């Protein structure tokens, strides 16, 4: 899903993508971000044995990039650039009080009227059907060796997310590219959440865990920001960040 971005950032530099283990074939997915990062570092060093490294990740891949940066720096390597494309910091869903839930329901009813009740029933039914489908799929083996294991990858990712603890700050500053914040409800006291009931922050929650965060807002939403035509704006801004990092390295030498 990053092929458009790789092409538009420019063919004058190499752009490597790392594929999640288990996406195809029979290999089991990684179960933790730490083991993902360690495996990807082996792949990185097979191409570029020493830093400085430019790292990035889209969505959950940004957490992997963060952990790769942390492990590389612990090994004495330099990370010159860390980029995330709309990656939120790992955190549990918002802890909503009864008052918060009432405020949300009132806001929905005001905005949508009686249609909100039917919409809620439809969403609940879809959730229950999805739960049944996942149970059925997990109980039904598939012998096709090249099956696209997106469901297995997603489940492994969720388990890894539950286990992961954001640790010591990497020295690299973070460049975060994200779309307009998807604020669905303002609960007061600076607490804003999206439709998935997760807190929404200007910096996607990363400021406590990095030396500095530079936020760039790009067109589109979480999925379409890396697709045409929105990806052209993202590519232009990302290229500028990459070139600035390259120039800084040249000056340091």
How many domains, in total, are found in the chain? Answer: 1
Tokens of 15: 């752009």
Residue 131 lies in a domain: no
Domain that holds residue 87: 3-92+145-183+194-252
Residue 64 lies in a domain: yes
Residue 210 lies in a domain: yes
Residue 109 lies in a domain: no
Give the residue ranges of the chain where pLDDT is below 50: 137-148
Residue 156 lies in a domain: yes
Identify the pLDDT of residue 175: 98
Instruction: Report the CATH number at residue 30.
Output: 3.40.50.1820
Question: What are the C-alpha distances in Å from 196 to residues 92, 111, 138, 210?
Answer: 11, 17, 25, 25
Identify the pLDDT of residue 187: 78
- In angstroms, the CA 152 to CA 20 distance is 11
**Residue 152 CB neighbours (<10 A):** 17
Residue 62 lies in a domain: yes
Instruction: Decide: pTM greater than 0.85.
Output: no
Identify the pLDDT of residue 123: 62
Identify the pLDDT of residue 143: 42
- In angstroms, the CA 178 to CA 29 distance is 27
């Amino acid at each position: 899903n990053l092929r458009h971005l790789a092409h538009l950032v420019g063919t004058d530099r190499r752009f490597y993508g790392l594929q999640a283990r288990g996406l195809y074939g029979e290999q089991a997915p990684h179960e933790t971000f730490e083991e993902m990062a360690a495996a990807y570092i082996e792949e990185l060093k097979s191409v570029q044995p020493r830093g400085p490294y430019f790292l990035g990740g889209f969505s959950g891949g940004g957490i992997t990039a963060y952990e790769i940066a942390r492990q590389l720096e612990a090994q004495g390597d330099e990370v010159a650039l860390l980029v995330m494309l709309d990656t939120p910091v790992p955190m549990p869903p918002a802890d909503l009080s009864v008052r918060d839930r009432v405020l949300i329901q009132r806001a929905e009813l005001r905005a949508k009227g009686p249609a909100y009740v039917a919409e809620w029933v439809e969403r609940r039914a879809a959730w229950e059907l999805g739960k049944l489908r996942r149970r059925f799929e997990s109980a039904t083996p598939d012998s096709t060796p090249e099956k696209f294991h997106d469901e297995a990858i997603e489940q492994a990712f969720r388990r890894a997310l539950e286990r992961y603890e954001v640790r010591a700050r990497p020295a690299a500053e973070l460049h975060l590219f994200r779309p307009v914040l998807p604020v669905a409800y303002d609960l007061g006291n600076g607490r804003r959440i999206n439709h998935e009931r997760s807190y929404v922050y200007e910096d996607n929650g990363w400021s406590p865990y990095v030396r500095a965060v530079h936020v760039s807002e790009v067109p589109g939403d979480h999925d379409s920001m890396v697709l045409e035509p929105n990806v052209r704006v993202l590519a232009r801004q990302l290229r500028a960040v990459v070139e600035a990092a390259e120039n800084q390295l040249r000056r340091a030498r």
